[in-house]
Structure 1
Amino acid sequence: MTGADLTGARLTEADLTEADLRGLDLYYANLTGTKLADATHMLRPPTGAFWNRETSWPPHIARIVDSRSTEVRPGVFQVRDDGMHYTDRVLTPVR
């Protein structure tokens, strides 16, 4: 799955245990019930993605996903786009 563009994909209840998510684009994907907890290289919350309490997140982003999400339907949440698009690139300060 490395580098795949899954924007808007329906991954409901998918088992992505131990999947390499390096460069994967999950913007606005339906991740309700998806198993992501043991996936590797998930560096940022997927902006716009839908999820529920059965969705398991990698521990290092679970709290971020929860704090940046809004309940859009009973039991279904969406990761907000707070105007911050995450990037894997390292930015160099301008002097």
Structure 2
Amino acid sequence: MRRYLHFITKPYSFSVIQALIDEINRGNWGESMIYLPDELQRLYQFKDPVTSSLAEAVDFQPDAVFVPGNIVHDKIPGLKVQVFHG
């Protein structure tokens, strides 16, 4: 089973990432985890696991990391996929 990490650092990223999470869950493509800083966790609720810990994100061992921004920690394994809204 594939593992996907959604690396969110800005509030505008929620809607961009939600569409990916919905499709991964709908198609049973694998499991997701959301990296979300503590200060953003109160703004949006996800059904999938959420972490603000870099160590937990690394331990999750994602196959792909979806990044709707410009920055992602290089210690997180997996293919980095930069995602933008249009």
Query: Is TM > 0.5 for Structure 1 vs Structure 2?
Result: no
TM-score after normalising by structure 2: 0.33
Higher helix proportion (structure 1 or 2): 2
Structure possessing the higher relative contact order (Cα contacts under 8 Å, 6 or more residues apart): 2
Higher strand proportion (structure 1 or 2): 2
